[in-house]
Amino acid sequence: MMRLAVVLWVLSAVACVGRGHPHTEHSKEAQNSDVDSDRSFSVVTSANKDFAYSLYKKLAAHADSEGKNIFYSPVSVSVALAALSVGARGETHRQLFRGLGFDSPELTQADVNQAFQTLLANTVSDEDISEGTAVFVDKLFKPEPEFLNVLKQSYLADGFSVNFTNVFESANTINKYVADKTNGKINKLVENLDERTRMFLVSYIYYKGKWKTPFEAKLTRQDTFTVEENNTVFVQMMNKRDDFETYNDQVLQTTVLHLPLNGSYSVLLLLPENMTVLENGIRPADVTKWLKWMKSWRCDIYVPKFSIKTSYNLNDVLTQMGMPDMFSERADLSGISENLGVSKIVHQATLDVDEVGATAAAVTGIQFTPLSYYEPLVLKFNRPFMVIITERSTESVLFMGKIVNPNI
């Protein structure tokens, strides 16, 4: 029997260009949770951090051979796969939990759902960041009611009924929703929609803020950026001299620059002596160390303006991370409906950095079918570097990537 084409798309976006607003309070659910719930929440958030870096290393292995930039939203992918796990059963569910790092005896599916409900609810009252999901269900498709109920309650899902046999109209409906939720950053998520599609799940994250101390446009000058040996490109290089927090990680042979955004959000720019050493060695504890031990120095910094867009098919990556069954005839998504399998998972992202701040957007789609310098310290990001956008109080990684060429 032919498997139904069920499509799950996950969307995330960040735009660091508007008015900042601190947000560090826990939701009422987290404040009122008992010790066990707090422990489960901690296990899930820790697993999300580990997953972010594991996914990066897989993406880097694929991108390096092609000399491409890397940019993605690990929290977007985590939300997507966690939502998928609600409807997974048997070995498919076990693989998703292992791949996400949720295979702890302390965690049940209900614990994971509650943790993501808390994480998403934390952003509800924050004017700078919004997160949520939406599910688009074909009018003739009847998924398990419990699956939809959990998505609505724990993953804050909006619900829509569409006619997927009308591929043009249903694609426009999804694209309009996506564009509205990302302030136009991603306006064409769906291009070729399979008429056999029975469901679309969209998970989005949108962040808006700006640098605490913006760059002055009059100081921006044309400069060169070394993509690789014997290959340089011209960029618009921003410049600012001020006191900045930095850390020289001798183990990773990397200088870390902290650029705070309004509220509790930050951009970390990582300038390594050897990119391979950094990529192979970086882990969540490093961010904790940097944020704790950074020192303020008078710095003369140079950061390129850039606008990049990335696109990934994550089937192979997630298979390598131990989650192959959802893409095969062995897929068990009977918690959604019988006879379903995932045909592909895609992720798209954009990042724009200028004098005001950074604007980024990302889409994941799952388809079924120390420093010793004289002052001022000069930090010039004129060669490949990594970027992490994080929330400081939780050290949650909203976005992560590597800029190999600012012009592509």
Q: DSSP assignment, residue 66?
A: T
Q: How much is the pLDDT for 371?
A: 24
| Confidence band of 238 (pLDDT split at 50, 70, 90) | very high
Residue 302 CB partners (closer than 8 Å, separation 6+): 223, 237, 238, 239, 378, 379, 380, 381, 382
Helix/strand/coil for 187? coil
| Mean pLDDT of the 337-348 span | 78
Q: How much is the pLDDT for 3?
A: 43
| Mean pLDDT of the 214-230 span | 93
| 49: Cα within 13 Å, side-chain hemisphere | 18
Nearest to 131 by CA among 139, 122, 140: 122
Residue 253 CB partners (closer than 8 Å, separation 6+): 272, 273, 274, 277, 278
Q: How much is the pLDDT for 282?
A: 96
Say yes or no to pLDDT of 367 above 70: no
Say yes or no to pLDDT of 250 above 80: yes
Say yes or no to pLDDT of 31 above 90: no
Q: How far is CA 58 from the centre of its chain?
A: 14
Q: How much is the pLDDT for 221?
A: 96
Name the residue type at position 63.
A
For each of the domains in the chain, give its residue range(s) and CATH number, in order of start: 4-209+307-368 (3.30.497.10), 217-305+371-403 (2.30.39.10)
Name the residue type at position 402.
K
The answer to whether 139 and 161 have CB atoms below 8 angstroms apart is yes
Name the residue type at position 33.
S
Share of the chain above pLDDT 70, in %: 84
The answer to whether 163 and 141 have CB atoms below 8 angstroms apart is no
Q: How much is the pLDDT for 200?
A: 83
Beta bridge partners of 200: 136
Say yes or no to pLDDT of 56 above 70: yes
CB atoms within 10 A of CB 309: 15
Name the residue type at position 273.
E
Distance CA 275, CA 67 (A): 13
In the block, which residue shows the tokens 């990397």? 254
| Most trustworthy range by pLDDT among 199-208, 254-263, 349-358 | 254-263
Distance CA 36, CA 43 (A): 11
In the block, which residue shows the tokens 């950095």? 353
Angstrom CA distances, 50 to 54, 57, 112, 286, 359, stand at 6, 11, 16, 12, 25
| Confidence band of 25 (pLDDT split at 50, 70, 90) | very low
In the block, which residue shows the tokens 């890397």? 70
Residue 105 CB partners (closer than 8 Å, separation 6+): none
Q: DSSP assignment, residue 208?
A: B
Beta bridge partners of 24: none
Q: 342 or 334: which carries more pLDDT confidence? A: 334
Distance CA 195, CA 172 (A): 14
Q: How much is the pLDDT for 19?
A: 34
Q: Look over the chain and give the mean of its residue pLDDT values, rounded to a whole number.
A: 83
Distance CA 384, CA 404 (A): 5
Per residue in 162-190, pLDDT (tens digit) is: 998 999 999 899 889 988 888 888 787 78
The tokens for 374 are 């004289």
Say yes or no to pLDDT of 9 above 70: no
